[in-house]
């Protein structure tokens, strides 16, 4: 700024322009070395202008005046973000990238500071074409393009380039009229935001793109004593990569195979040597673990009376031999989808999608049995959101639910596949860390606590942050599930008595 003032006073003085250009080159180099992408992008047009400068004058001075505010805003945003960002681990470079193309950076300072806490790298560019180039080079999961009421020629060219590069983009506009939305849809926008853009709104929209869940293939078990029928079923279903089929010819092995394979659908021969499909179905339904698995009979039986009796005995459908490929696939997929949906309702918490109380305890018990066989430690942590009643009383239960969902999402993103994360009820959560020493668990939960405390929640009454307290116990120091849970609960209350927003480790030593 100091080097620009002399130029502004005498815009035809080449020497003053030269001094100013050297400062701009220096700033560009600092931005490049410091990986300050917004600053580097903002100053690039200015450096280009100065490099091509031959006969400076008032027109060039006016152009620089237009470019400098964007540079200053980018510098302020970068400094602010670095001052407020938490320490980052070595793995943070792989965080999914979201790019925002905006007229100004200043309105998005808070968003810049918050997105890292939600598991994203977030960049803002005022030069749209530079932003698109950065998004393409760094494989952004999404780009948000700010529209000034309509899609002008420049913005239309930008989103055309985004579509050409197969980048998902969202429109952001101060108005949400049908006309503007229609323009965005015609340019293949993935979604539409009405300004001001909040972190919760943005995260909810881009999460499915950044953390796309891949369901396991549907598992189909076919029990039929005819190798020809099994071969036919396998030939039909093997054409679909989302279906995994296993054939079985011996009815006597049905229970052990159900336990081992855990199918989503059972295809059951109606007439077999030594027993009937009805009898096998009754055996299956007598076992509580398998009472809800869909059963479709493979049969040449056409009697309506027999079919009704079969349905009463636990059947769900009839597939007539010879089997129609379309009928078989439709039956398998529809019943597998329904079964998995029902199973989710049984084991998942409806608000957060985490495991519910009952399922969490079941998984904890299974984890302890596995750890005992393998001789590895398990750590168990209970997390409780601090002063949650005050959040509900001050901001309302809807905001309270958002805080719960934010913590659930935060935990789910940062846990390993071998860990268990569940909502224990209300504002309490449980984390089961397999093959984790108490010291490792304390370090991980402390990192979670600090990270969650940096998330701000937007409300009509302003922004606020929440924290949680935690208690941690470990196996085998506490050898039974009940002892482990009680110890962690006692440690949690010790954290609360000590002032909250902290983690306490139950300190029983491992017995000799």
- DSSP string of 136-168? HHTT-SEEEEE-BSB--HHHHHHHHHHHHTT--
Q: Between the CA of residue 457 and those of 14, 257, 378, 411, what are the distances in Å?
A: 51, 48, 33, 16
How would CATH label the architecture of 357-505? Answer: 2-Layer Sandwich (3.30)
Angle (nearest 5°) at CA 465 between 174 and 356: 100
Domains 4-210 and 357-505 share a fold: no
- Which pLDDT does position 125 carry in this prediction? 92
> What is the layout of strands, in order, in the sheet containing 468-475?
420-425, 428-434, 378-385, 468-475, 503-505
Quote the CA–CA distance of 306 and 139 in Å, as a whole number.
59
* 4-210 CATH choice from 3.40.640.10, 1.10.1030.10, 2.170.190.11, 3.40.50.2300: 3.40.50.2300
Q: Where are the beta strands (DSSP E) in 287-443?
A: 295-299, 317-320, 378-385, 420-425, 428-434
Per-residue pLDDT tens listing for the chain (512 residues): 778 888 887 888 888 888 888 888 888 888 877 778 778 888 888 888 888 888 888 888 888 888 887 888 788 777 766 555 444 433 344 688 999 999 888 888 888 878 887 878 899 999 898 999 899 888 899 999 998 777 788 888 888 999 988 899 999 999 888 988 999 999 999 999 998 888 888 988 998 888 766 667 899 999 999 899 999 999 999 888 889 999 999 999 999 898 888 899 999 988 888 888 888 988 988 888 788 889 998 877 666 776 777 677 667 888 877 778 888 998 899 999 888 888 777 788 888 889 999 889 988 988 998 899 899 999 999 999 999 999 999 999 989 998 999 999 889 888 887 899 999 889 999 999 999 999 999 999 999 999 899 888 878 887 888 999 999 999 999 999 999 999 999 999 999 999 999 999 998 754 44
Kindly state the helix (H) or strand (E) to which residue 491 belongs, with its residue range. helix 481-497
292: helix, strand or coil: coil
- Which pLDDT does position 509 carry in this prediction? 58
Quote the CA–CA distance of 75 and 36 in Å, as a whole number.
9
**204: how many CB neighbours lie within 10 A of its CB?**
13
512: helix, strand or coil: coil
234-269 burial, b at 16+ Cβ within 10 Å, e below that, comes to eebbeeeeebbbebbbebeebbebbeeeebbbbbbb
Structure pTM? 0.57
Pairing of strands 142-146, 468-475: unpaired
The CATH classification number of 218-346 equals 3.40.50.2300
**61: how many CB neighbours lie within 10 A of its CB?**
17
Question: Residue 39: CB partners within 8 Å, gap ≥ 6?
Answer: 27, 30, 31, 71, 74, 75, 78
Where are the domains positioned within the chain?
A: 4-210, 218-346, 357-505
**Distance linking the first and last C-alpha atoms of the chain:** 70
- Which pLDDT does position 309 carry in this prediction? 72
- Which pLDDT does position 400 carry in this prediction? 93
């Amino acid at each position: 700024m100091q080097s620009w003032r002399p130029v502004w006073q005498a815009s035809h003085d080449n020497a003053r322009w030269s001094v100013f250009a050297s400062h701009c080159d220096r700033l560009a180099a600092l931005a490049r070395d410091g990986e300050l992408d917004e600053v580097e992008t903002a100053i690039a047009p200015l450096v280009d202008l100065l490099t091509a400068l031959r006969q400076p004058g008032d027109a060039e001075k006016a152009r620089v005046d237009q470019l400098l505010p964007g540079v200053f805003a980018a510098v302020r945003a970068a400094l602010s973000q670095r001052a407020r960002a938490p320490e980052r681990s070595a793995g943070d470079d792989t965080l999914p990238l979201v790019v925002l193309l905006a007229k100004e950076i200043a309105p998005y300072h808070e968003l810049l500071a918050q997105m890292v806490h939600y598991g994203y790298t977030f960049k803002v560019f005022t030069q749209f074409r530079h932003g698109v180039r950065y998004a393409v080079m760094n494989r952004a999961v999404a780009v948000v393009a700010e529209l000034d009421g309509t899609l002008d020629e420049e913005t239309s060219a930008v989103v055309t380039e985004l579509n050409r590069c197969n980048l998902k983009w969202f429109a952001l506009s101060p108005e949400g009229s049908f006309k503007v939305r229609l323009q965005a849809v015609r340019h293949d926008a993935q979604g539409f935001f009405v300004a001001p853009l909040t972190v919760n709104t943005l995260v909810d929209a881009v999460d499915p793109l950044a953390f796309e869940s891949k369901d396991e293939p549907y598992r189909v078990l076919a029990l039929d004593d005819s190798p020809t029928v099994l071969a036919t079923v396998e030939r039909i279903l093997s054409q679909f990569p989302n279906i995994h089929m296993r054939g079985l010819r011996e009815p006597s092995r049905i229970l052990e195979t159900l336990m081992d394979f855990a199918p989503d659908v059972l295809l059951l021969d109606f007439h077999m040597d030594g027993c009937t499909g009805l009898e096998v179905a009754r055996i299956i339904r007598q076992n509580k673990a398998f009472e809800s698995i869909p059963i479709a009979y493979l049969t040449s039986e056409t009697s309506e009376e027999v079919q009704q009796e079969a349905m009463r005995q636990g059947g769900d459908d009839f597939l007539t031999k010879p089997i129609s490929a379309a009928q078989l696939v439709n039956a398998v997929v529809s019943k597998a989808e329904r079964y998995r949906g029902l199973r989710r309702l049984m084991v998942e918490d409806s608000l957060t999608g985490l495991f519910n109380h009952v399922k969490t305890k079941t998984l904890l018990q299974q984890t302890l049995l596995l750890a005992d066989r393998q001789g590895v430690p398990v750590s168990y942590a209970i997390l409780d959101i601090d002063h949650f009643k005050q959040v509900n009383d001050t901001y309302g239960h809807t905001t309270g639910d958002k805080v719960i969902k934010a913590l659930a999402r935060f935990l789910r993103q940062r846990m390993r596949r071998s860990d268990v994360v569940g909502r224990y009820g209300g504002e309490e959560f449980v984390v089961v860390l397999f093959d984790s020493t108490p010291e490792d668990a304390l370090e991980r939960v402390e990192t979670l606590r600090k990270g969650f405390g940096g998330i701000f929640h937007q409300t009509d009454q302003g922004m606020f942050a929440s924290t949680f307290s935690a208690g941690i116990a470990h196996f085998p120091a506490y050898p039974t599930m009940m002892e482990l849970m009680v110890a962690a609960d006692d440690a949690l209350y010790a954290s609360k008595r000590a002032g909250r927003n902290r983690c306490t480790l139950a300190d029983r030593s491992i017995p000799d």
